[in-house]
Amino acid sequence: MREYELYLVLDAEAEEADVQAIIDRLTQIVQSGHNETRGEVIKVEVRGKRRLAYPIKKKTEGQDVVFSFQSPPQVPAEMERVLKINERVLRYLLVRLDED
């Protein structure tokens, strides 16, 4: 299992239900699989709305979400695929946390 952190910038106009649906879908992806390949969500932090430093897709405000999880190496690829097709996701950054 590897530990990852996903930083999301969502559309500020997204309803709370839309944000929760995205979080639920990501949680489902992490927890899918058999017992030995099942990931675990460590923390989900919805930081709320903020003004963006520069416009992204003609939007000047966004909602920040930080999603920390442990999973097998194939899970992040599936998460990125889902995030790319979601209209509410303006930007995302998925990083693997190295063990030091």
Q: Report which secondary-structure segment, H or E, holds 82.
A: helix 75-85
Give the pTM. 0.89
What pLDDT, in 10s, does the model give residues 11-46? Answer: 999 999 999 999 999 999 999 877 777 889 999 999
Angle (deg, nearest 10), helices 16-31 and 75-85: 150
Percent with pLDDT over 70 in the chain? 97
Range of the domain at 31: 2-96
- Residue 65's CB: how many other CB atoms inside 10 A? 21
Question: Domain holding 58: CATH number?
Answer: 3.30.70.60
Confidence of residue 98 (pLDDT cuts 50, 70, 90): confident
Digit-coded pLDDT (tens) for 67-88: 999 998 889 999 999 999 999 9
- 77, β-bridge pairs: none
When divided into structural domains, the chain yields a total of 1
Which residue is associated with the tokens 């416009």?
55
Are 44 and 23 within 8 A, CB to CB? yes
Residues facing 49 on adjacent strands: 63
